[in-house]
Amino acid sequence: MAELHVSIVSADREVWAGAAKQVVARTTEGEIGILAGHEPILAILAPGEVRVNGNDGSVVRITADDGFLSVENNRITVVSRVATVV
């Protein structure tokens, strides 16, 4: 199965980048889980946590305040002014 390429960027640097199986984020509309092959989407994030589930079962948690999330061709970009890996 195709995998996701995730990059999480804050205003002054790239916080985290890598491959993943699933990304779970909280948008203003509610929680969204993204697997490979997801349709292109641009969503506004609600303050909260973004969870990146790696291929090997590892989980990376990132707190992202007011930002957005874009998905296209299995590339996920989480853009937040202030993002930190928990």
Partner 1 sequence: MGSQLRVYRQKIRSAQTTKKITRAMELIAASRIQKAKQRLAASVPYSSAVTRAVSGVATFSNVDHILTTEPEKVERAAVVIFSSDRGLAGAFNTNVLREAEELSTLLRNQGKEVVYYLVGRKAVGYFSFRGREFERSWTGETDNPTVATAQEIGNALVEKFQADQVDGGVDEIHIVYNRFVSMLTQQPLVIRLLPLEIIEGVEEPAEHELLPLYDFEPNAATVLDALLPVYIESRIFTAMLQSAASKHAATQKAMKSASDNADKLIKDYTRLSNNARQSEITQQISEIVGGADALSSAKK
6 binds partner 1 (CB under 8 A): no
Residue count at the site for partner 1 (CB under 8 A)?
Answer: 27
79 binds partner 1 (CB under 8 A): yes
Residue from 2, 40, 57, 86 binding partner 1 (CB under 8 A): 40
Q: Which is nearer to partner 1, 49 or 66 (CB)?
A: 66
- Report the b/e string of 46-85 with b at 16+ CB within 10 A: beeebbbbbeeeeebebebeebbbebeebebbbbbeebee
Structure tokens at 19: 């491959």
74 binds partner 1 (CB under 8 A): no
